[in-house]
Chain A
Amino acid sequence: MKYADMAPPPRSEHLWRYTPWHWMHPSDIEIIPDALPIRFEAQEPVDMNTNICVASSSNEYARVFLHEVAKSSTIVSSSKDNELMNLYAVASGHVACSHLHFNIKHSVTILLHLSGEADWCGLHITSKIAKNLNVSFAIVNELSNTTTYLECQDWDIAQDSSVEFAGITLGGFRTKSDIRSNLNGRGANMTQAISTHGIGQRHSDHHIEIHHVEPHTTSSLSAHSACDDESHLVTTGLLTIARHANRSDAGQVFRNLLLSPKARAESLPELEVLADDVSAAHGAASAPVDENQMHYMMSRGFSPAEASSLIVEGFLTAAFGEIKNPSIIDAVRTRLTVHLECHIKR
């Protein structure tokens, strides 16, 4: 399928209800813009190949678009068990776009730091995880506060493999992340944690799909959004359990912390269950900062701004409570602390 042959998605599709496609396109929606590739660097040597052409298998609108804009792919392959990959992705120029594929055949930890001043940045991450692996992946978005960022991720998880996924959005003016995971083998597990800090006029939209395709698969998703200033944070989820995927266990929780009268938050945690012997649940909650917590902190000498900042830090970090990998936890906590110290309102 070609982008030019496809009709733009209508806003009646909930994937695009709050972030219409023309907001995410770098220019006129009929145009495929010229793009620079995102520059990938690794802290330690990793097996990385760039400028490889990989055919896109998706017919989804944003994915087809990203594929045509990126033109080529970067493939990162694991080379040994327990490898720690610290990857830095820098987006510069007017339009920057890449396809990043992880070829994972070992149990690895991947930390992807995304930064840069590009006006528009597009990134499509794909990965097929082989059987019996433990993979931890974190993506920290620290793009410029003026960047429009379109991200798609596709994870295929094979039998008895387990993936820990952490995502933290601290940058970007307008961001749309569409993250889809398929639990394709018995015993596959996905633990997903996503935190977003809404400041200024940031519009951040996360769409997270988890598909239990096979029996005895487990997933948990925790998405925390702290909405400050005039930000607008959207979290939509789709959790499906296929007809024969019995003994699956799935849960998703969306939480919004409302910090400013002009901030907005939308949550759509959707559930489609076609198997009867399953445990599936979801929850969503939105609330302001607890006055008792503020009172407690201030009675111990914190200013209102410091107290609020600590509560926000605690709230955003709490999303990662199910993540076990210490490298991931350290990375997201450090970036979050630095970010909040920079933005604390004194």
Chain B
Amino acid sequence: MSEQARDAVGDYRYGFHDPEHATIRFDKGLSEQVVRDISALKNEPEWMTEVRVKAYHHFNERPMPKWGNCSELNNIKFDDVTYFLRSSKQTEKNWDDVPEDIKNTFNRLGIPEAEQKWLGGVTAQYESEAVYHSIREDLEAQGVIFLDMDSGLKQYPDIVKTYFGTVVPYSDNKFAALNTAVWSGGSFIYVPKGVHVEMPVQAYFRINAKNMGQFERTLIIADEGSSIHYVEGCTAPTYSTDSLHSAVVELIAMKGAKIRYSTVQNWSSNVYNLVTKRGVAYENSTIEWVDGNIGSKLTMKYPSVLLRGEGAHAEVISVAYAGEGQHQDAGAKVHHLAPNTTSNILSKSISKNGGRSSYRGMLQVTPKASGCRSKIVCDALLLDEHSRSDTYPTMEVGNSTADLEHEASVSKISGDQLFYLMSRGFSEKEAMGLIVNGFFEPFTRELPMEYAVELNKLLELEMEGSIG
């Protein structure tokens, strides 16, 4: 790595990139023909092509959001983005068959090792499509379907047609429309009735090329009484030009089912991360979003849950770290649409070196949703005078029996805590690192051990230079 490149990458350890060996690369820019070409290339059924085209037109007509970080949003140059890039001819089931350079990338990211040790299945997506995919045989035998989304559409078109776009329709927002028009890759999971997937399944998303757009689409259906834990990780090289990641994730938890969706987002600081994540929870089911945002230039992501069945429960734990030049606009939305539904939202953020973190949330109780309970807690730490923290919560209550609480606080690291730790022999840097790790502990304890350890290391790296 040259000195110049090293300077650009800084502490971001995943900022390396490999030489690009695309088998198919579309020209930059978006048109109806590009959308049709992506669909044709994948031999999709006609209904999907039509949905894509409708979404494309909606994307063109829909104005940019007039809220949030409008100036950054308006800097996105949609015509400079490559909307489809295929790096491997097919999705391999055997790791040895994956092209060497891509395999090296994922080896450096530790994916094969993790799979052997503690995962029930893995999808590795490189640029636009999955390059490797596997699932444990015992899960397959129980009827669990875990595929990349393109294969899911080919092999289970009826299930995909039934559920695709039902939770996040293309008309939901501009970026959901963009994703629906050009989606490629992502995961498709179906867990049959009563099956509990004990080991987490993981998807790893990697952008390698410059000015690349990654638009994966994930659909997870947990049938009655089943459960699954899905983990996703994301990294990209550091370039001087910007990349765009605009995913859509749809979760459907049937009666009594449980889905936990964990994310550790660590995009490089040249990636716009504009993601729509939403789940529908039916009777007595649970949806949990465990969402960590460390990287990216601008993240706008508000995992949401529609509590549609009586007794359904939503849990959102969200942490954000905003460093230099970063704006983490994250939050959570919970809509209580049925009686006796409950939700908990915990949001924690740290802003440092001029970074900005925002919590943007929505808690809605509709008139039919009697006996609902919800609690939201937002804590923010500001580590220096150049940084910024915002809280934009909304509570809409349409039922008189609802019991809702929201509390938020913004502060700097307590001098008392620092003093206490330093009086016991820690250096100021170590003490600060411990306090930050403790601050994020409610998030890390919900992650699989390996992810939690990795996250703590990442935070330590990010915290370097915070003192003095």
A139 within 8 A of B: no
B409 within 8 A of A: yes
B240 within 8 A of A: no
Partner of B390, one of A270, A278, A288: A270
- Do the beta carbons of A283 and B388 come within 8 Å of each other? no
- Do the beta carbons of B408 and A281 come within 8 Å of each other? yes
Across-interface contacts of B232 in A (CB, < 8 A):
none
A158 within 8 A of B: no
| Separation of A55 and B58 alpha carbons in the complex (Å) | 46
- Do the beta carbons of A256 and B397 come within 8 Å of each other? yes
- Do the beta carbons of A260 and B400 come within 8 Å of each other? yes
A295 within 8 A of B: no
- Do the beta carbons of A268 and B66 come within 8 Å of each other? no
| Separation of A177 and B388 alpha carbons in the complex (Å) | 28
| Residues of chain A in range 49-75 having any CB-CB distance to chain B below 8 Å | none
| Separation of A259 and B181 alpha carbons in the complex (Å) | 47
| Residues of chain A in range 224-245 having any CB-CB distance to chain B below 8 Å | 227, 243-244
- Do the beta carbons of A279 and B411 come within 8 Å of each other? yes
Partner of B380, one of A266, A273, A286: A273
Q: Nearest A residue to B390 by beta-carbon distance?
A: A272
| Separation of A268 and B67 alpha carbons in the complex (Å) | 15
Across-interface contacts of B391 in A (CB, < 8 A):
269-271, 282
| A282-B408 in contact given A270-B391, A288-B401 (Cβ < 8 Å) | yes
A322 within 8 A of B: no
| Separation of A270 and B360 alpha carbons in the complex (Å) | 9
The number of A-B residue pairs with CB atoms under 8 Å apart is 115
B225 within 8 A of A: no
| Separation of A275 and B387 alpha carbons in the complex (Å) | 7
Shortest beta-carbon distance, A340 to chain B, in Å? 18
Shortest beta-carbon distance, A289 to chain B, in Å? 9
| Residues of chain B in range 282-341 having any CB-CB distance to chain A below 8 Å | none
B403 within 8 A of A: yes
B393 within 8 A of A: yes
Partner of A286, one of B66, B385, B395, B407: B395
| Residues of chain B in range 56-72 having any CB-CB distance to chain A below 8 Å | 66-67
Shortest beta-carbon distance, A198 to chain B, in Å? 11
- Do the beta carbons of A261 and B399 come within 8 Å of each other? yes
Across-interface contacts of A12 in B (CB, < 8 A):
66-67
- Do the beta carbons of A280 and B405 come within 8 Å of each other? no
| Separation of A284 and B402 alpha carbons in the complex (Å) | 13
| A276-B387 in contact given A268-B392, A286-B397 (Cβ < 8 Å) | yes
- Residues on A lying within 8 angstroms of B by beta carbon are 10, 12, 14, 227, 243-244, 246, 256, 258-288
- Residues on B lying within 8 angstroms of A by beta carbon are 66-67, 367, 380, 382-385, 387-412
User: Please, could you name 5 A-B residue pairs with CB atoms under 8 Å apart, sorted by A?
Assistant: A258-B397, A269-B408, A273-B380, A282-B409, A283-B408
